[in-house]
Amino acid sequence: MATLEITTHVDARGLSCPMPIVKTAQAIKPLASGAMVEVLATDAGSVKDFAAWSRTTGHELVEQSVDGAVYRFVIRHK
Amino acid sequence: MTLLAEPIAPPIPVEPSPAPALEVEGEVKTKELVIVNWSGELDKVWPVMILSSTAAASGVRCKVFVTFWGLLPFVKDQKRIVGENWMQKMLTLMQRPGIDHLKLSKMNFMGMGPWMMGVLSKKYRVASPRELLEAATTLGVEFIPCQMTMDMFGLKREDLIDEMGEPAGAATAIAMMTDADASLFI
Q: Measure CA of the first residue to CA of the last residue in chain B; give whole Å.
A: 56
Q: Could you tell me which CATH number the domain at A6-76 has?
A: 3.30.110.40
pLDDT of residue B10: 55
Chain A contact probe: residue of B29, B32, B58 with most A CBs at under 10 A? B58
- What residue of B is the nearest CA neighbor of A12? B125
pLDDT of residue B22: 47
Instruction: Name A74's bridge partners.
Output: A38, A63
pLDDT of residue B12: 57
pLDDT score of A15 more than 90: yes
What is the Cα Rg of chain B in Å? 22
Which of B125, B126, B139 faces A25 most closely, judged by CB atoms? B139
CA A21 to chain centre: 7
Fold of the domain spanning B32-185: Hypothetical Protein Ychn; Chain: A, (3.40.1260)
Contact B185, B38 (CB under 8 A): yes
pLDDT one-digit tens code per residue, B127-168:
999 999 999 999 999 999 999 999 999 999 999 999 999 999
Contact A3, A32 (CB under 8 A): no
Residue type, B60: V
pLDDT score of A48 more than 60: yes
pLDDT of residue A21: 96
- Domain positions in chain B: 32-185
How many Cβ pairs within 8 Å bridge chains A and B?
49
Contact A26, B139 (CB under 8 A): yes
The share of chain A scoring above pLDDT 70, in percent, equals: 95
**What burial letters (b/e) apply to B122-145, b meaning 16+ CB within 10 Å?**
eeeebbbbebbbbbbbebebbbbb
8 Å CB contact of A58 and B54: no
Longest dimension (CA), chain B: 82
Q: Which residues of chain B have pLDDT under 50?
A: 17-23
Nearest CA-CA distance, residue B121 and chain A, Å: 9
pLDDT of residue B24: 54
The DSSP letter of residue A16 is P
Q: What's the mean pLDDT in A44-60?
A: 94
